[in-house]
Amino acid sequence: MEAALYADLDEELVLAAFTPIDADTLLRQYNLSLTQTLLFRCTAMEFTASENWQQIFRGIRWLGLIYTIQRRPEGYWVTVDGPLSLFKLGHRYGSRLAQLVPAIIAARSWSIRADVLRRPTDRQLLHLTLDSRTHAPLLKTGDLSKAATYDSRVEADFAQRFTALRSGWRLTREPGPLAVGRQVMLPDFLFEKEGLRVYLEIAGFWTPTYLQHKLTQLAGVENVDMIVAADRANACQQLDRLGRRLKVLYYRGKIPLRPILNHLTAKATALRETHRLRLRDRELAVEGPAMTTAALAEQLGVLEEAMQDVLQDRPIPGYRLLGDVLIRETTLQQIENQLTQSDEATSLTLAAATQLIEALGGLRPTRILDALGYSVEWHGIDPSKARLRRKPRGV
């Protein structure tokens, strides 16, 4: 008993086991510690990240850091006040700010800029600039490769059911921050399709304090298309006010898919019509023997569906529309002549016909072959063994 009396003192502790660390990991951990130490005397730090925003802002709130957020062309940038810009917070605040760095550099892409005072008695500022491309290999970083986690069963169930629909909309969990004044909001999901962005915020169980905070956030959201899904069992009339600017959807047990799909479809349809009107009086021109409707739509900054709608009503002179390909009539005739000559000399294979069509500037060879009245007779999966056959007239 006497031997154990002082066992809690550092000098009495016994090393029971040791896991060795390799030199590379030790060096990267050392570099990270040096970087964090520099921030003890910074006046301000700003950063951006490609992901991990939920963890970053949880850290900001837990550490009690003072921040502002701005939307810039390259993304969201967060500015955190440094310890030397605040009154009597000094080293303790600086150590808290330094603890935020691992969460930032855990993202695949990130950038940090900070102004650091050289010495406490010196007014000279040093500019610290770090980015993932240059410095990630030199710093010990976390791992974000684990599967997505959800805050509730409702979120997990919704994500699984929506993904299974294969609607053409990409669903992203925790897509990143939205600036609400000088603060930030972190929506639960983002729907994306052809440049359209629709957010989903799920308001499940709440306390009065949480509800007031959420209402304040949602009221500050501007120029953002957002659906708010609220649990009917906990709903209150205050949410109804948001329906004037945001779509409020009530649910019981699980979030219904149909109202959300209807909203997304309406947005896509409206955008398609807007782009059709934009193309109505615009001159359409194609360069070269062939071009896809997707490439032409991208060139003009419109949806491909809108481009195809317009081309159906207003063909481009000298070109023929074959599905999603515009091909010059003379090129199509040239391809047909070459195919006829080659077919008469020897039975054409699909591989040979494809090579001939592409050499003449054609795209989507099988689509062109179908338009010219050819079918493919397969003998296995090898294109060099697949033979072309003329379809009977009228087929």
pLDDT tens for each residue of 279-315: 888 888 888 899 999 899 888 888 888 899 999 888 8
Please check whether residue 335 lies inside any domain of the structure. yes
User: Which CATH number does the domain housing residue 45 bear?
Assistant: 3.30.70
Same domain, 304 and 262: no
Average pLDDT for 333-337: 90
Higher pLDDT, 69 or 142: 69
CA–CA distance, 342 with 63 (Å, rounded to integer): 75
Backbone angles phi, psi at 131, to 5 degrees: -150, 160
Please check whether residue 203 lies inside any domain of the structure. yes
Same domain, 257 and 330: no
Task: Supply 325's token pair.
Answer: 């390909």
Residue 54 banded pLDDT, cuts 50, 70, 90: confident
- Give, in order, the Cα–Cα distances in Å from 250 to each of 158, 202, 212, 213, 288: 14, 10, 18, 19, 53
Same domain, 330 and 386: yes
Stated length of the chain:
395
Task: Supply 176's token pair.
Answer: 């990143």
For residue 219, is pLDDT > 90?
no
Alpha carbons within 13 A on the beta-carbon side of 393: 0
What pLDDT, on a 0 to 100 scale, did the predictor assign at position 353?
Answer: 87
Same domain, 258 and 214: yes
What stretch of H or E contains 59? helix 53-63
Same domain, 340 and 232: no
Q: Which of the listed residues 267, 295, 314 is the one where a domain comes to its end?
A: 267
The total number of structural domains that make up the chain? 3
What pLDDT, on a 0 to 100 scale, did the predictor assign at position 87?
Answer: 46
Q: Which of the listed residues 113, 138, 163 is the one where a domain comes to its end?
A: 138
What stretch of H or E contains 77? strand 75-81
In the block, residue with structure tokens 């440094």: 82
Residues whose CB falls within 8 Å of the CB of residue 36, separated by 6 or more in sequence, listed in order: 98, 99, 101
Alpha carbons within 13 A on the beta-carbon side of 193: 19
For residue 109, is pLDDT > 60?
yes
Write out the residue range of the structural domain in which residue 48 sits: 23-138
Burial group, residue 346, by CB count within 10 angstroms (0-12, 13-18, 19+) = exposed
Please check whether residue 308 lies inside any domain of the structure. yes
The one-letter amino acid at 369: L
What stretch of H or E contains 35? helix 23-38
Please check whether residue 148 lies inside any domain of the structure. no
Higher pLDDT, 392 or 1: 392
Average pLDDT for 91-102: 81
Please check whether residue 9 lies inside any domain of the structure. no
Residue 89 banded pLDDT, cuts 50, 70, 90: very low
Residue 88 banded pLDDT, cuts 50, 70, 90: very low
Same domain, 296 and 260: no
User: Which CATH number does the domain housing residue 229 bear?
Assistant: 3.40.1350
Please check whether residue 11 lies inside any domain of the structure. no
Higher pLDDT, 65 or 312: 312
Beta carbons of 214 and 180 less than 8 angstroms apart:
no
pTM score, two decimals?
0.62
